[in-house]
């Protein structure tokens, strides 16, 4: 399945969410990650997010059953384009 994860943590803690998200997804914008993920890994990610959050912080995970239902338009360089890296 394809997911988009957005997070809002205290400024001094955003690196923790980014580090967690990068284990499963691709970092595409400030506080935004996306990518394909298995159901098992998604469950692990959800549990780790719950453990990470402190009062007043939030994370949203949008799930799409497949990337076929995703209409994604990128203007400028696409951070998920693996061809940029040699």
Question: Per-residue pLDDT tens for 35-45?
Answer: 999 999 999 99
What residue ranges do the domains of the chain occupy? Answer: 2-67
Longest Cα pair distance anywhere in the chain, in angstroms? Answer: 41
CATH 3.30.70.240 is held by the domain 2-67:
yes
Contact 21, 59 (CB under 8 A): no
Q: Which pLDDT tens digit goes with each residue over 49-58?
A: 999 999 999 9
Helix axes 14-22, 39-52, angle to 10 degrees: 170
Stated pTM of the model: 0.82
């Amino acid at each position: 399945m394809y997911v988009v994860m957005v997070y809002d943590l205290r400024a001094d803690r955003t690196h923790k969410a980014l580090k967690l998200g990068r284990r499963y997804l691709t970092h595409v914008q400030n506080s935004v990650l996306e990518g394909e993920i298995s159901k098992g890994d998604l469950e692990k990610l959800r549990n780790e997010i719950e453990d990470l959050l402190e009062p007043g912080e939030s994370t949203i995970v949008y799930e799409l059953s497949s990337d076929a239902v995703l209409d994604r338009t990128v203007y400028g360089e696409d951070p998920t384009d693996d061809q940029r890296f040699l």
